[in-house]
Structure formats: structure tokens, C-alpha cells
Structure 1
Amino acid sequence: MQHARRNISLLIIAQLIFVSGSVITVTFGGIVGAKLASSPNLATLPVSLMVLGTAIGTIPASWLMNLFGRQIGFIGAALAASFSLWLAADSIAQTRFWQYCLATGLIGVCLAFSAQLRFAAAESVDVSRAGLAISLILAGSIGGAMVGPELIAQGNTVSDNGFIGALLLAAVLFLIGAVVLLFLKLPKSFDQVALNAAMPSRSVSGLLQSPPFLLAVISGTVGYGVMTYLMTATPVSMHVIDGHSMEDTAAVIRAHVLGMYVPSLFSGYLITRYGERNIIGWGVAIYIVTVAIALTGQAIMHYTAALILLGLGWNFMFVGGTTLLIKTYQPEERFKAQAINEAAVFGTSAVGSLLAGALLSQFGWTLVVISTVPALLLVTALLVLTPTLVARTQK
């Protein structure tokens, strides 16, 4: 129990640091991209490459952690992220768009490793407390939502160029994170009561034939994909197209990130009381309200309300999906199942992020928002059909 509490505390600190780096990259990505790129259509490419890097890094991250352990994976990712942030700062100083894109892509790969923090937390406690452990790790991102913008605000105190200053401060923060992670003592195995505990280890196709596993993966995939898609488009839509200030744009992104992670203070409890499927359903409903608000206008208040609700909906779908996921596989299937989930989640997010900039520049904010509706309908259909599909597979 003592090790579990210490591990959770250290993992929360690590989550804070990784999220702060993500917030800085998302906030700067489209804006720096617009300054350095040769075409407006390429403005969101740096953020898209961050998400693509995360997608590409998911399977190697699972494989390397299976081979060397999660602690080494986390420490290596923190050190690599520090280097990547320095590389991003240098690219701005040298006005090299390609180098900035390389740096954000590398940051994305590092974030693929940090995505495993929630699994490390879940494996540190009994399965009955996994939802709470996952939500606590995501709650650590509240600090990241505050630290990231604060580093942006303090950037001018380090360098004449505020972008460069903020990135260098973040690089130092990741070095501190690598030191913190040295004190982790993660269990080599964990207790788990899987839904199909009596079954032998399944292949990838076998896992994908499990309706609960499919629901868990798709809810996380759609929840994360829609969030990334709209979040990537927001800074460019607000600052570049609508002319809102950089300060207002950063404030909206900060409110969005808080909307993503503050609910983690209570979403674990809600999952324990009401179950994963209900929480996922609530997340879909909140996304629908988000779409409605985003379509009513493009003033600061519309962006703020829509992005806060976007964060809340993401939290319910992502935490609900992750908690359901760990109940659908056996211990020996964990890295395989987690790799499938992470590849689907971040691969879809990468596609959405890549599409966001092009669709925004060609068709505008309204079409970007409307185009999320089919994905939400898909999750709704799965929520309705999963109990029936489970009943059929058990016959």
C-alpha cells in the first residue's frame, strides 16, 4: 500500500510535467507553424505531427516497456522530451519550419510513453480501484494545465523571444521529471480479475471480437479523436482567422485542458457508482452539446464554453473507456491489448489533427464542427448494441 501511494504520487507529478509540455506544443504549434510555414494550409502541421508521433510511438512504447520495464521507458521519454523542446526552441531561432515539425513529432513520440502512466497507476492497485487510480493520474494534468500557460507567460523573462523562452523552461522541467521518476517502485506483476479470466490468451483478432473490448477501444478512440480534431483547429480559428488575441487564445486552451482534467477529481467515483458504459454515454451527450454551442458563434465566450465541454466529454469517454479496457483482457494480454488501444486512439487523433488544418482553411470552423457528428453516432450505436452482442457471444 505504501509503495502504491508513492507510485501514484510520483506518476501524478510525471503526468503534470508531460501535460505541460503538451499544452505548450498545442498552444504554440499552429501559431508558430503559421509564422514559419510557406502556406497557411501547413499551419497546423506541427501539432498534427505531434499527434502522429504519438500514434507511431504507441506500439514501440508498449514493446519497449514490456522488454525493459515502465520506469526505464518513462525516464527515457522525459529525457527525450527535454531534448525535443530544446530542438523546437532552436528551430524558431533559426526560422526552420522543418526542424520545428521534427521537434513536435519527437515530442509526440515521448507523449506515447507518457500515455502509459495511467496503466502503470492501474497496475499499482487492485482492479476494483483502477478507475480511481486512472482518474487521479489524469487529475495530475490539472497542474500541467496551469504550469504550461505559466511557462508561456514567463517565456519573455528567459529570452527576448517568448516562444523560445517558454520552450527552454519546459526543457528544464522535463529534466526534473526524469529525476523524479528514478524513485518509482512499480510492481513486476499485478492482480487483475478479467472478464474472461478462464480463457487462454487471445490473438489480436480474438481481442477485437470481444464486444466490451471493442466498445472500450472505440469510445477512447472517438473521444480522443474528436477532442484532438477540434482542439487543433481552435488556436488557428481563434487567433489567425477570427483575430482573437494570443492571450485570449491561450486562456481558452487552458480552460479546455482544465475541462479535460478537473473532472478526474470525481469521474473515478462516478465510474465506480454508475459503471463505465453510463459514463461513456454521458460523454457522448456532452459532446453533442459541445457541437451545438460551437455552431452558435465564434466569439470568445462560444470558444470557451465549447472547449470546456469538449474537455469534460473527453474525460468521461476516455476514463470510462480505459477503465472498461483493463477489465476486458487477461494479465498476459495487457501489453498487446494496450498497444491496440493506444494505436487506435492516437492513430485516429493523428488523422483528425492532419485534417483539421486543411478543412479549416478550406471550409471554415462550422464544417469542422459538423464533421464530428458521425463518429458520435457510431459510439452511441455501440453503447446500445454491446449488451446484445455480449449475450450472443455467451450462448
Structure 2
Amino acid sequence: MIETASHPSEKRNAFTLSCLQALGGANPAIVIALGGLAGQQLASRPDLATVPVSIYSLGLAFGTIPAAMVMKRLGRRNGYFIGTLLGIAAGLTAAYGIFSHAFLVFCLGTLFSGLYAAYVQSYRFAAADAAPPAFRTRAIAWVMVGGLFGAIIAAQAIILTRDIWPAIPFAASFVAQAGVAALAIPLVMCLRTPPPSPKQQSVHGGRPLSEIARSPRFVIAVLAGVISYGLMNFLMTATPLAMIGCGHSVQDATLGIQWHILAMYGPSFFTGHLIERFGKILMTTLGLILIAVAGIVALSGLSVAHFWLTLILLGAGWNFGFIGATSMVTDCYRPEEKNRVQALNDFLVFGCVAVASFSSGHVLATGGWTAVNMIVFPFVAVILAALLWLWYYDRRNEIGAVGA
């Protein structure tokens, strides 16, 4: 019998994780907004200015598997407490690097930020794992809503602290980053995730990871997540640079990114309901189509309206595609396999996102805005074909089961 309602404790956990996502989401927003500017004043060469942001991306990618191992051994709540301590250390270390004018120390702080983000990115899986099947997709969407508030918290933290220490710009904002991370501690203590069972703690529990990774459903789910997030990051990184290059103002570019963030997280209020009604594959497909439409709009003109509409479509496409792909991943593992499978998924997704972030500026500089957008279409075509095959495979099996 399929469970159709969620228990109040499961909704409370999902809401708590959404609040944690809001606080944890401020961490990358501050690093991305200020990392390059702080790096510019600390680095010995101008071309090293964006290294701190790149190190954040690497920390996120390579932190996913150690974070999963910690949570597998100690449980979600204890793991998130450790992650929160990393978040506090990140802000304080980065602030000290600015204060002492030590570029490497500042980079260490952004590395800690990436390691903290590896725990934050698993909040969506924690909500899904603690929810019954009927509530699982909505639980993921609830957590993603927190990202919208994370961007708001980051912006306010920067505005309120930027002039506190005029002699050392940006240092107070990174102290604020540590303070926001510290606010997560009481919320982590409120989580009621079940402790890991001996079966879940065992390294050998469940099927071999290689067997799961070869299953078509897992491969397609990961590809959908990689392409949704990777293309979003690739285009988002290049768009402000392209706008400035086309003669638009910094204010126009900033407003475009704000619209983009709203489009990324705003649909999460109803994405879960849409996935429940229309299915994971269909909504993931819609997300990828919207990303392709964003590329078409970008190629059709260079006005501010074209850039803004591109960013809005890109954000909405990421929301449907990434939440849908995450929901598909949750169908691929048993409880004792969840930590390893989730870690592999996030390592692949955020490893590719880091590559997209590094390559975006290079493609824009060498091939121009047209080349950046033309790259979108072959990737979208491949994953759309894979999703169509998976939908046909599921339909055929359903018809076969009914006929039997």
C-alpha cells in the first residue's frame, strides 16, 4: 500500500532542513560575491584573483565523499554538526587571511567553505530519506526553497557589514559568514534523523557501488543532474561578463543575477506538487527544454531584456531539472546504500560543475557569447534522448505488468 500522507515529524524535519539550507546557502553566495574581489586585493598577480572561488568549487566536489563517510559512521545530525563547525572555521579563516593580507590563508578559508557546502548539499537527500515515498519529492523541494532565502541572507550580511572595517574591506563580511553558520547549530540539534543502523554503517552493506552505478536509471539520473547544474553554472558564470562586454552596466548585470536566483529557487514552492502530478521524468525533461530555450533566447539578441530572460529561463530550467534528477536518484538505492550512492552522485555533479565554472570564462574569451550558448544544445539533446528512452522503458514495463 502506498503511503499518501506524511507524519508531522517528517514535515518538521523537512522544514528544519529548509531553514538549514537557508543558512548554509548564504555560505557560497558570500564566497562567490566577494571571493574574487578579496582575491584581487590579496593576490600577487591579477590572474590569480578568482582562484579562491575556484578552490571553493574544488572543496565542494572533493568534500562530498568524505562528508558521506562521516555521516555514514556518525549519522546525519552529528555529521551536520561537524559541517557547521567547518562553516564557522571557513568564515573566520577567510577573515583572518584578509586581515593579515595572506592570500593562501584566505584560500584555505574558501576551501573550508567548499567542505561545508558538501554537507549543505546533502540536506535535500536527508529530507528525502526521512520522508515516506508520497512526500519525498515535496520534501526535496521544501529544502530547495531555503536556497532562495540563503541568497537574501548573504546579500543582507554583505550590505550590513561592508563598512564596519573600512581599512580591511570584506573581512567583516566573512566574520558574518561564520556567524550565519553558527546560527545553524541549534537547528542541527533539533533534527530527529534516525541513528545509522549497524547495516547502514557497514562498508559492505547493500549492493556493490559499481553495480548501482551501471544501472541505466542511475546513469540517466546523474546525467540529468550533471547537465542541469553544469549548463546552468556554465551560462550563469559567462552572462554577467557578456553583458559588460556588450556595453551594459554592472547594475544591469547584477539585477539579472538577482532575477536568475529568484527563478532558481522560487518555483520550489510548487515544483514538488508538479513532479507528483506529472512525474519525475516529465518535469526533468521540461527543465532541460527550458535550459535549451534559454540558449535560443540568448542567441536571438543582445539587449538587457534578452540577457535577463535568458537568466530567468535558465534558473527555472535548473529548478525543474535538478530537483527532478535528485528525485530520480532516490529511486536508485536501498537504505543501507544511500550514503555511498548520494556521495557518488554529488561528486559527479559538483565535479562537473567545477569544470564548467573553470571553462566558462575561457570559452567566452576565445569563442564569444555565441559559442557559449551553442554548447548547450548537444548536451541537452543527449539527455533528452536518454530521458525519452527511460520513459518508454517504464511505460513498457507498466503495460507488461498490467498484462501479466
TM-score by length of 2: 0.86
CA distance in 1 between counterparts of 2:393 and 2:14 reads 36
- Structure 2 Cα separation of the partners of residues 120 and 31 of structure 1: 34
1:166 alignment partner AA = S
Residue of structure 2 equivalent to 1:112: 118
Do residues 166 (structure 1) and 173 (structure 2) align?
yes
Shift in alpha-carbon separation, 1:154–1:361, aligned structure 2, 3 A: farther
Structure 2 residue 92 is the aligned partner of structure 1 residue 86: yes
CA contact under 8 A between 2:148 and 2:266: conserved in structure 1? yes
State the alpha-carbon separation in 1 of the partners of residues 298 and 45 from structure 2: 26
CA shift for structure 1 position 357: 3.0
Q: 2:160 aligns with which of 149, 154, 162?
A: 154
Q: Contact (CA 8 Å) 1:57, 1:109: kept in 2 or not?
A: yes
Q: Measured at CA, do residues 167 and 238 of structure 1 come closer, stay the same or move farther in structure 2, by a change above 3 Å?
A: farther
The 5-angstrom pairing of residues 56-71 of structure 1 reads: 56-71=62-77
For residue 233 of structure 1, the aligned residue among 238, 251, 258 is 238
- Paired with 2:47 and 2:240, the residues of 1 have a C-alpha distance of 14
Letter in 2 for 1:185: R
CA deviation map 1:341-386 (0-9, x unaligned) = 1111111111111212333344433322322332212211211222
Query: Residues 226 and 97 (structure 1 numbering): CA distance in 2 closer, same or farther, change over 3 Å?
Result: farther
Q: RMSD between aligned alpha carbons?
A: 2.6
Distance 1:31 1:235 in 2: 15
Q: Pick the aligned partner of 1:176 from 169, 183, 187.
A: 183
Deviations 1:37-56 (A, max 9, x none): 45555444332222221110
State the one-letter code of the partner of 1:217: V
User: 1:281 and 1:134 mapped to 2: Cα distance?
Assistant: 18
Correspondence 1:138-287 to 2 at 5 A: 138-160=144-166, 163-188=170-195, 201-238=206-243, 241=245, 247-287=251-291
Q: Please tell me whether residue 304 in structure 1 is matched to residue 304 in structure 2.
A: no
Q: CA, structure 1 residues 26+243, in 2 after alignment: closer, same or farther (shift >3 Å)?
A: farther
Q: Is the 8 A contact 1:146 1:254 kept in 2?
A: no
Q: Distance in 1 between matches of 2:278 and 2:323?
A: 13
From 288, 293, 296, the counterpart of 1:289: 293
Give 1:276 deviation, angstroms: 0.5
Which has the larger displacement, 368-377 or 128-137?
Answer: 368-377
AA partner of residue 57 (structure 2):
V
| Secondary structure of residue in 2 paired with 1:125 | coil
CA shift for structure 1 position 189:
6.8
- CA distance in structure 1 between the partners assigned to 2:74 and 2:31 by the alignment: 28
Distance in structure 2 (CA, Å) of the matches to 1:370 and 1:162: 39
* Deviation readout 1:182-232 (Å, 9 max, x if unpaired): 121112479xxxxxxxxx932222112322221111101111111222233
Structure 1 counterpart of 2:202: none
What residue is the counterpart of 1:193 in the other structure? none
Distance 1:93 1:370 in 2: 43
Unaligned runs of 5+ residues in structure 2 are 1-6, 198-204
1:354 matched residue in structure 2: 358
How much identity, in percent, do the aligned residues show?
A: 34
SS in 2 for 1:201: coil
Preserved CA contact (<8 Å) 2:22 2:149:
yes
Contact 2:95 2:174 in 1 (8 A): yes
Cα distance, 1:238 vs. partner? 4.6
Kept in 1, the 8 Å contact 2:281–2:391? The answer is no
Distance 1:150 1:64 in 2: 32
Q: Deviations over 1:105-145 (max 9, x none)?
A: 22111111111111111122201110000000101112112
Instruction: Quote the Cα distance in structure 2 between the aligned partners of 1:87 and 1:370.
Output: 40
TM-score (structure 1 length as normaliser): 0.88
Which has the higher relative contact order, 1 or 2, with Cα contacts under 8 A spaced 6 or more apart?
1
Distance of aligned partners of 1:226 and 1:207 in 2 relative to their CA distance in 1, 3 Å threshold = same
Equivalents in 1 of 2:35, 2:382: separation in Å? 30
Residues 31 and 235 in structure 1, CA contact (< 8 A), matched pair in contact too: no
Q: Distance in 2 between matches of 1:104 and 1:45?
A: 10
Q: Aligned pair in 2 of structure 1 residues 24, 233: CA closer, same or farther (>3 Å)?
A: farther
Q: Which residue of 2 aligns with 1:194?
A: none
Amino acid at match of 1:16: A
Q: CA deviation at 1:251?
A: 3.1
State the shift of 1:323 in Å.
Answer: 0.9
Aligned counterpart, 2:51: 45
